[in-house]
Structure 1
Amino acid sequence: MFTGLIEEVGHIQRLRQEHGITKLAVKGQQTVSSLVIGDSIAVDGTCLTVTRTAHSLFEADLSEETMARTTLGERHVGDPVNLERPCRPTDRLGGHFVTGHIDGVGSIHEISVTEGTWWFTITYPIALRPLLVEKGSVAVDGISLTVGRLNDRSFGVAVIPHTFHHTTLGNKSAGRRVNLETDLLGKYVVRYLERLGPLTQKMPLTESRLQELGFG
């Protein structure tokens, strides 16, 4: 489990194929120094397992599924990537619950600057629409952000200078694709309501009914 607070920006040092598996090697500093084989680490929001460590490098395997369903399959040697180690039970939860399981890939439609804040407008797969809400949380390349604007095709997030300069967002431009993970708690609510579907046809989901079910 992660929180979406990026600890460090690392750089891809090597990509190689071995028995049908892509081996990804990333160089970092403080984040990498404490890693051991078997640890989890989020790379651009994607949870990976450390398979090898050497000095300031770690290596992880990328399955075909990971390559196809995240942006890691588009990365090249030298590219910067966001790094975050899993949170511990005693850590402050400064962002939100992030699993590292990518829900879909979006695209940066526009970047604008207003009074020292960067606004990123990101298009998203239509399947994610029920899982996005204004003022709700979303992880963009592993970064915990708040949905400030939302329509049926895109959402907007405000990025403060610290986040812009200390994550890969400072290297992004319009047209770049990004990993998206919607809020974990929201997924369970949507799934629960879907399972109530047959019941809600007989008993509509009013505000009072939702309160009876434990919401609100």
Structure 2
Amino acid sequence: MFTGLIEETGKIIDITKKTASIEITIRGKKVIEKAQIGDSIAVNGVCLTVTKLKGSDFTADVMFETIERSGLKRAKAGDIVNLEKSLTLTTFLGGHLVMGDVDCEAKILSITDKGIAKVYEFQLDENYRNNMKYIVEKGRVTIDGASLTVIDVNDEAGIFSVSLIPHTIENITVGMKKTGDFVNIETDLFGKYVEKILKFDSSENEEKNLKKSNLTMEFLQKNGF
């Protein structure tokens, strides 16, 4: 689990592409301090497990599901990435609870100056537009591992916006990107739990109503329903 507050940016040193996975080696400084094999480090918001350590470099394996949903499928040696080590019970939680499980990618549609800030407009991948239900105005969304506040949403078009101050732009990879580039998106976990609970409550109520009316699935099927 993470906070969405980027500790540093690192560089991809090497990528080995296999049949259904990737082995990736990244160079960092802060996230490597006191790191051990088996620790979790978020790379552009993707939770990866350290499998090797050497100096300031760490290596991790990326499975097929993660490759499909995230921008790591386009990653190459030399790319700069956001890094955050998993939180502890004493970590200052300045962002929000981030799992490091990327839902999908989004494309940068526009970057607009607004006072000292820049407004970034994103559109979710068409195959994952259902995730818009978890993105709400003034709520939190994780973009390439950074916890950011949503300022505007267009559910039908799958579009949302965030506003970044100069300090944020200078310290995360989104500030290095341009219109047309892609970013990793993780939506708020709590919305997913609420949806699941409501779904089960709805199913249970429907079942109770059927019992009260003496209707059964067997009766409906026999009578052509």
Q: By how many angstroms is 1:197 displaced?
A: 2.5
The answer to whether the 8 Å contact 2:3/2:93 transfers is yes
Match of 1:130 among 130, 133, 150: 133
Unaligned runs of 5+ in 2: 208-225
Change in Cα spacing, 1:155 to 1:20, as seen in structure 2 (3 Å) is closer
The answer to whether the 8 Å contact 1:33/1:55 transfers is no
The answer to whether the 8 Å contact 1:43/1:84 transfers is yes
Which structure has the greater CA radius of gyration? 2
Aligned residues: 202
Q: Secondary structure at the match of 1:185?
A: helix
Q: By how many angstroms is 1:161 displaced?
A: 1.1
Aligned position for 1:73: 73
Q: Percent identity between the aligned chains? A: 41
Backbone CA RMSD of aligned residues: 1.6
What is the one-letter code of the residue matched to 1:47? C
**How do 1:186-201 and structure 2 match up within 5 A?**
186-198=191-203
The answer to whether the 8 Å contact 2:38/2:49 transfers is yes
The answer to whether the 8 Å contact 1:130/1:190 transfers is no
Q: Is 1:11 aligned to residue 11 of structure 2?
A: yes
Quote the Cα distance in structure 2 between the aligned partners of 1:142 and 1:2.
9
Unaligned runs of 5+ in 1: 203-216
Match of 1:176 among 181, 189, 198: 181
Quote the Cα distance in structure 2 between the aligned partners of 1:77 and 1:59.
13
Quote the Cα distance in structure 2 between the aligned partners of 1:51 and 1:72.
17
Q: TM-score, normalised by structure 1?
A: 0.89
Q: By how many angstroms is 1:151 displaced?
A: 0.7
Q: By how many angstroms is 1:34 displaced?
A: 2.4
Moved more, 163-172 or 186-195: 186-195
What is the one-letter code of the residue matched to 2:154? N
Quote the Cα distance in structure 2 between the aligned partners of 1:186 and 1:195.
15
Aligned position for 2:82: 82
Moved more, 192-201 or 75-84: 192-201
Q: Is 1:36 aligned to residue 36 of structure 2?
A: yes
Q: What are the superposed Cα offsets for residues 148-190 of structure 1, whole Å, 9 maximum, x if unpaired?
A: 0001220000111111100101211111111111111111112
Quote the Cα distance in structure 2 between the aligned partners of 1:100 and 1:199.
32
Q: Secondary structure at the match of 1:186?
A: helix
Aligned position for 2:147: 144
Q: Secondary structure at the match of 1:16?
A: strand
Quote the Cα distance in structure 2 between the aligned partners of 1:200 and 1:74.
46
Quote the Cα distance in structure 2 between the aligned partners of 1:35 and 1:24.
17
Q: By how many angstroms is 1:19 displaced?
A: 7.1
What is the one-letter code of the residue matched to 1:10? G
Q: What are the superposed Cα offsets for residues 35-93 of structure 1, whole Å, 9 maximum, x if unpaired?
A: 21100000000000000011110000011221111111111110000000011111121
Quote the Cα distance in structure 2 between the aligned partners of 1:162 and 1:48.
26
Q: What are the superposed Cα offsets for residues 89-112 of structure 1, whole Å, 9 maximum, x if unpaired?
A: 111210000000011111111111
